[in-house]
Structure 1
Amino acid sequence: MRNTRRNAALLAAVFLNALFGIVLIVGGIWLIAVGGSWYYALAGVALLATAALLFQRKASALWLYAALVLATLAWALWEVGLDWWPLAARGDILFLLGLFLLTPWVTRPLLRQVRTTSEAREQDARAARRAGLPLMASLLLFLIVAIASWFVDPHRIEGTLPGVRNQAAANSLGVPPGEWHAYGRTSHGQRYSPLKQITPDNVSRLEVAWHYETGDVRGREGDPVETTFEVTPLKIGERLYLCTPHQSVIALDATSGKEIWRYDPQIRGELALQHLTCRGLSYYDAAKTGMATDVAVGGSQEGSGNENAGRDGGRSETGDRAAGSAPLADRRAGAATSLQDLNLPVAAEDGTTTDRCAAKLFMPTADGRIIALNPDDGAVCANFGGGTGQINLWANMPNARPGGYYSTSPVVVTRSLIIVGGTVLDNVSTHEPAGVIRAYDVNSGELVWNWDPGNPESTEPLGPGETYTPSTPNSWSISSVDEALGMVYVPMGNQPPDQWGGERTEAADSYASAVVALDLATGRVRWRFQTVHHDLWDYDVPSQPSLIDLTIDGRNVPALVQPTKQGELFVLDRRNGEPVLPVVEKPYPQGAVQGDRTAPTQPVSALSFDPAPLTEASMWGGTLFDQLACRIEFRKLRYDGRYTPPSTEGTLVYPGNFGVFNWGGIAVDPERQVAFATPTHLAFVSQLIPREDDTTLYVQGDERPQDSLPALNENFGAPFAVKLSAFTSALGLPCQAPPWGYVAGADLTTGEVAWMHKNGTVRDSSPIPLPFKMGVPNLGGPIMTAGGVAFLSSTLDYYLRAYDVATGEELWKARLPAGGQATPITYTGSDGRQYVVVAAGGHGSLGTKAGDDVIAYVLPS
């Protein structure tokens, strides 16, 4: 029996070495053929030779294997140094196989003699141990190096952010300290709270105060893949206001979490949706702005009482021509963009209404409307939108297809205007709605001005029968506003399709992937700053600009901080768009496909989280084998660094269009004059697929969308469709080595990154739920507080975390029931305590767990 076990073990060792050797030889030769490392082929030869020696029962097999382990260790240290996860991927299989070779069932048969006495067996055991000493020593050395790497983090930056430098710098803009009135708390988009009750010393005592479930979870018929719960609630008075993925509006008691009212906008079904989400509501209170509110139904307001009307959105005399202000019957008799022709609901006809709204909540809907609600009871404001209680965003819109355009993000609210952008379908066709930015009277819903990137000089409202320019760059993210300077700052996207720009107009191309400052009174361009020239990578500007006053060389500079997908933090003077921190134009790879072009240079900020370029040594995997496959794929793809143009053979895009930063943006502290950032580093692959006609589905194939859902990435009307995917191995792991996600602190006055730490675990994104802290991507935003604590919930593992703003140290975390891909808020409850609230509902395309949870945390009484 003992001999049988030994023979079986020896045969298994022979088989494994031979199998692994053949795989590495075949893959290694392939890698050499595409210009890659010789290590894998040579390692395969060594394993095959080890198998042969084992089969001949020669102890020299262990010596050869020991040499392979030492060579692998030297090669791994040369490529990646003391970096644990890359080291593990290079040595895990060899280490485990080496341990197996050291077992007595493998080593004893190598002595050739078969003896039965106990003394003889003990002699055989000693001889076997001597034969395995070199291998044992090599494995021990590998283990020592691995353990040493546990105490080294080459990706970590240690430091401390400065303390308060200007205590008077925080500008509440009329928002009480204990409230949260806009997506970024105020219209400046700082995501900063002046509350100080929660501190680094007591944050670990936070506990659940209440837990509310909305009842709205993705998975309904007609839901697109990217159905998400991304809401940042508002806290006004003693209430919270939030919206759900399927567009319900809910009011809660902020202290108890009890539901007060709920409104269902009855959005139209069968929508051409790419995304189904609501990132938040917008709030307006006439009593706090000095505005009159007695507006007749269907009429315009007289005597606004706005001292800055000439600067901030005075109404145009032609505003009554817009669909937002015409009587309901006239609009329904209009062009194909009327409510009736599009079969859109009318809010004022479908529920409780009120003729007077001293304050308003504005809710953007997935079928292309903006509904005005009374915060007191959720009633529709009938004194808005010509008696409809809503704005029809399809008015004057070309290529109307409900779902193909709507505001996924909350609108901007000023003393007299609401300013609205919207998302269009990415990479579906060249015949999409316009990316127009429109300003409406906040009380009547009349159109005041419209800025069309395809016709930027004319901002007077369009008349009946006129349409905006189709398929222009759109603004799907959140804008910010400085009413003192009279400007709204709009982050712009691209003209579709994203990866091919051969037919973009000069006007549209000049405003794509840019921050555009528009005059509040007229809608005309005051200045623009383009973050990418002729963008072919879907590097649209994804985040809300953060407005903050900075002390630079002893001067107070009103600044704008703009995060980008490619990792820049552009710090600009918001008066004129001039850089505050240096920006240089750098040359980047050329060689676009025929019919297109690339810009010779691209702007780079002095404050940048652009990751280091990828190399073959950057490739990773769970094992030696999928790492080899990733290396082969890396060598096959076109990659010349950042801004490598899209290609028909396939291009590696790094950072990918997921973004170093996305819609969650950053948080800025106006007193410290610092930023809390959450960089993500993920590579993507894009491949242009030549189109021969405008009907064939080249990308979707058998995965054809159902019902009204659009055929994404087909680019009907363009010469190319596009295949897009994350750069992952056959096991679904990123092909690039971790970390993939960080938290970071930066000084906005100097551009210095004071600290940066990997953040998050793979507990909820790996087949085995082990809490390895590898640094995972996040999608959502952070907040900061005057108490010196930052909060973040948006990593791929399901936690709300608290950090020390000064050092980035993780201070506390709480387990969430679902993915927390949203931005938290903090406020003061009626009991005087500081609360932290987050929505946990998951994200469809990220695959995080779905939920309908809104959870509040508070310090014990």
Structure 2
Amino acid sequence: MYGVGPKLKLFALDAASGRQLWQFDPFEGKEPRLNECRGVTYWNNRIFYVAGAELFAVNAQTGEPVEGFGESGKVAFTTGLDINHDVKHLYVTATSPGIVYKNILIYGSAVSEAGNAAPGYVRGFDAQTGQLVWTFHTIPQPGEPGYETWPKDAYKWAGGTNNWGGMSLDERRGMVYFGTGSPSSDFYGGDREGKNLFSDCVLALDAGSGRLKWYYQTTHHDLWDRDIPCPPNLTTIRRDGKLIDVVVQVTKGGNVFVLDRDSGKSVFPVEERPVPIVGLPGEKPWPTQPVPVKPEPLCGPFISDSANYLPPGEKGTVLVGYSGGAEWGGNAVDTNGVFYQNSNNAPWLLQMVSMAERKKRSRRCRKGRVCM
């Protein structure tokens, strides 16, 4: 049995007795750069996981770094992100394990949610050598689908739109499915007019090449940090007398999207409902948001669409869908087709503060006054 401790030390136990067999310290002799770790990936007698800003390959029998993988068993996890960004000083790691298709190790990432964030590109690495095989630009570059949904040249500075919640693999189709998060920063998008593909999307890629097969956006121009928080569930349902392979994706807002696994089209009707469009100065909220007619939302219908998508403001708003509906724990579908999901009803109070007001508060704090 393999696991990771709170200081990111990888360990192997004898599962019958609990006896520790070995331990690997990714920061030995260096200052730790800690991050959350929700699991590791096992493949061909190797354990892969990310600690700090490095991707490690460790021998599953001995606990030693795998020679021939990158440099002494590790690869810089910023590899492939620095085409248009200087990412060496930015926060880049992974909190969820990668997934392996044939000999390609596919990873999302965790990046900052503030304005100065690395792009959340999804990458495929050679599981033998650590070489970068492909990169999918979640913030599109010129000539790529979705480029027109951002301001011109946004790919040179925009960050976020990352897959931090994990992935699902259909090995027979050779396709990998995952969700992405919001652009950075979370609650203001005045500098990123448009729908902002591929943020807040369910994506299907060819696992061998990273080529886009389809996408489905669950929140347009996200202003509420409505990251897709967990891997999609791949299952089969009966619809109109036919069996359909589907992708079931839950969201922080409590919506459940059921999408055809090959086309990405919704199996059930989805309505683009009008929402408020008055936001902070410079902000241009998207005028509609997608709401599935079926299945019903996980969260109780205690708040209207208008209130649920109220743009953040200086007076303060009630924010629902920031820490659930669904969260990173994921869900399950049983053999009878029943879907199980732990769901949160957790409203938050969100108030935006101008830089001028923030500076005032900071000055009061430095003078020893109580501040918040």
Q: Same fold (TM over 0.5)?
A: yes
Root mean square deviation of aligned Cα: 2.7
- Which amino acid letter does the alignment assign opposite residue 208 of structure 2? A
Cα-to-partner distance string for 1:290-340 (whole Å, 9 max, x where unaligned): xxxxxxxxxxxxxxxxxxxxxxxxxxxxxxxxxxxxxxxxxxxxxxxxxxx
Give 1:431 shift.
2.4
1:642 aligned residue: 308
Q: How does 1:330-349 map to 2 (within 5 A)?
A: none
Q: Which residue does 1:421 correspond to in 2?
A: 108
Tell me what 1:582 maps to: 269
2:41 is the counterpart of 1:279: no
Asked if 1 retains the 8 angstrom alpha-carbon contact of 2:140 and 2:197, the reply is no
Check whether the contact 1:363–1:371 (CA below 8 A) recurs between aligned residues. Answer: yes
Aligned to 1:592: 279
Find the partner of 2:226 among 523, 539, 545.
539
Q: Distance in 1 between matches of 2:270 and 2:171?
A: 27
Alignment of 1:382-781 (within 5 A): 382-385=67-70, 387-396=71-80, 397=82, 398-401=85-88, 404-427=91-114, 430-456=115-141, 470-504=158-192, 506=194, 509-605=196-292, 606-607=294-295, 608-613=297-302, 641-655=307-321, 657-669=322-334, 671-692=335-356, 696=359, 702=365
The 8 Å contact of residues 139 and 198 in structure 2, kept in 1 or not, is answered as no
Distance in 1, Cα, partners of 2:228 & 2:166: 10
Distance 1:700 1:244 in 2: 40
Corresponding residue number in structure 2 for 1:778: none
Distance 2:212 2:104 in 1: 17
Any idea what SS the aligned residue of 2:183 has? coil
- Are the counterparts in 2 of residues 542 and 661 from structure 1 also a CA contact under 8 Å? yes
CA distance in 1, matches of 2:185, 2:131: 32
Q: Distance in 2 between matches of 1:700 and 1:488?
A: 50
Answer whether contact 1:370 1:393 (CA < 8 A) is retained. yes
SS in structure 2 at match of 1:527:
strand
Secondary structure at the aligned position of 2:13 is classed as: strand
Question: 2:260, 2:217 → 1: CA distance?
Answer: 14
Contact 1:452 1:468 in 2 (8 A): no
Distance in 1 between residues matched to 2:217 and 2:14, nearest whole Å: 43
2:320 corresponds to which letter in structure 1? Answer: Y
The question of whether the paired residues in 1 share the 8 Å contact of 2:234 and 2:247 is answered with yes
Aligned partner of 1:256 in structure 2 is: 17
Aligned residue for 2:151? none
Matches of 2:290 and 2:243, distance apart in 1: 25
Residue 458 of structure 1 and its aligned partner are, at CA, apart by 6.3
C-alpha deviation, 1:577, in angstroms:
0.7
1:421 Cα deviation from its structure 2 partner: 1.4
Tell me, yes or no, if the aligned pair for 1:454 and 1:469 is still in contact at 8 Å: no
CA deviation after TM superposition for structure 1 residue 566, in Å: 0.2
Highest RCO, 1 vs 2 (Cα 8 Å, sep ≥ 6): 1
The Cα of 1:505 is off from its aligned counterpart by 6.0
Structure in which a larger fraction of residues adopt helix: 1
8 Å contact 2:90–2:118 — kept in the other structure? no
Judging changes above 3 Å, is the alpha-carbon distance between structure 1 residues 699 and 590 closer, same or farther for their aligned structure 2 residues? farther
Q: Residue 510 of structure 1 aligns to a residue in which SS?
A: coil
Q: What is the Cα deviation at residue 450 of structure 1?
A: 0.7
Aligned residue for 1:641, secondary structure, equals: helix
**Partners in 1 of 2:11 and 2:181 — Cα distance?**
30
Alpha-carbon distance, 1:246 to partner: 1.4
Measured after TM superposition, the shift of residue 472 of structure 1 is 4.1
| 8 Å CA contact retained: 2:109, 2:163 | yes
Q: Secondary structure, in 3 states, of the residue corresponding to 2:308?
A: coil
Shift of 1:546: 0.9
1:545-604 deviation digits (Å, cap 9, x = unpaired): 111122222222111111100001111111111112332222223321221122222112
Q: Does 1:243 align with 2:7?
A: no
Q: 1:590 to 1:700 in 2, by over 3 A?
A: farther
Equivalence for 1:753: none
Preserved CA contact (<8 Å) 1:435 1:473 = yes
User: Structure 1 642/242 Cα, relative in aligned 2: closer, same or farther at 3 Å?
Assistant: same
Partner of 2:60: 375
How far did residue 680 of structure 1 move?
0.7
How far did 1:486 drift?
2.2
Residue among 31, 35, 48 paired with 1:269: 31
Task: Tell me, yes or no, if the aligned pair for 2:79 and 2:132 is still in contact at 8 Å.
Answer: no
Distance 1:255 1:701 in 2: 59
Name the one with the larger strand percent. 2
TM-score by length of 2: 0.86
Which residue identity is paired with 2:175? M
Give the whole-Å Cα distance in 2 for the aligned partners of 1:404 and 1:661: 25
Deviation per CA, 1:604-631: give whole Å up to 9, x if none: 221221322359xxxxxxxxxxxxxxxx
Structure 2 residue 120 is matched with structure 1 residue 361: no
Q: Using the alignment, how far apart are the partners of 1:701 and 1:408 within structure 2?
A: 37
The answer to whether the 8 A contact 2:112-2:160 is kept is no
Shift in alpha-carbon separation, 1:281–1:700, aligned structure 2, 3 A: farther
Amino acid at match of 1:643: Y
Partner deviation per Cα, 1:634-691 (whole Å, 9 max, x = no partner): xxxxx95211110111111123x1111111111122x211211111101001111112
Q: 1:665 to 1:284 in 2, by over 3 A?
A: same
Cα distance 1:458–1:438, how it changes in 2: closer, same or farther (>3 A)?
Answer: farther
Q: Distance in 1 between matches of 2:221 and 2:103?
A: 35
State the number of aligned residues. 351
* Deviation sequence 1:163-214 (CA, Å, 0-9, x none): xxxxxxxxxxxxxxxxxxxxxxxxxxxxxxxxxxxxxxxxxxxxxxxxxxxx
1:100-136 deviation line (CA, Å, top 9, x unaligned): xxxxxxxxxxxxxxxxxxxxxxxxxxxxxxxxxxxxx
* 1:70-124 Cα distance to aligned partner (Å, 9 max, x none): xxxxxxxxxxxxxxxxxxxxxxxxxxxxxxxxxxxxxxxxxxxxxxxxxxxxxxx
Alpha-carbon distance, 1:542 to partner: 0.7
Q: TM-score, normalised by structure 1?
A: 0.39
Task: Give unpaired runs (5+ residues) of structure 1.
Answer: 1-239, 286-358, 460-466, 616-638, 704-722, 724-861
- Is the CA contact 1:399–1:470 (under 8 Å) kept in the aligned structure 2? no
> Contact 1:244/1:277 (CA < 8 Å) preserved in 2?
no
- 1:812-858: per-residue Cα shift (whole Å, max 9, x none)? xxxxxxxxxxxxxxxxxxxxxxxxxxxxxxxxxxxxxxxxxxxxxxx
Correspondences of 1:787-798 after superposition (within 5 Å): none
> Secondary structure, in 3 states, of the residue corresponding to 2:353?
strand
Take 1:698 and 1:442, find their aligned partners in 2: how far apart are those partners? Answer: 50
Query: In structure 2, what is the Cα distance between the partners aligned to 1:645 and 1:543?
Result: 24
1:119-155 alpha-carbon deviations (Å, 9 max, x no partner):
xxxxxxxxxxxxxxxxxxxxxxxxxxxxxxxxxxxxx
Asked whether the 8 Å contact 2:11–2:20 carries over to 1, the reply is yes
Measured at CA, do residues 486 and 699 of structure 1 come closer, stay the same or move farther in structure 2, by a change above 3 Å? farther
User: Take 1:283 and 1:257, find their aligned partners in 2: how far apart are those partners?
Assistant: 19
Q: How far apart in 1 are the matches of 2:211 and 2:174?
A: 11
* Cα distance between partner residues in 2 of 1:496 and 1:701: 28
Kindly indicate whether the alpha-carbon contact (under 8 Å) linking 1:455 and 1:469 is maintained by their aligned counterparts in 2: no
Structure 2 counterpart of 1:485, one-letter code: R
Question: What per-residue deviation string (whole Å, max 9, x for no partner) do you get for residues 34-79 of structure 1?
Answer: xxxxxxxxxxxxxxxxxxxxxxxxxxxxxxxxxxxxxxxxxxxxxx
Following superposition, the deviation at residue 702 of structure 1 comes to 4.9
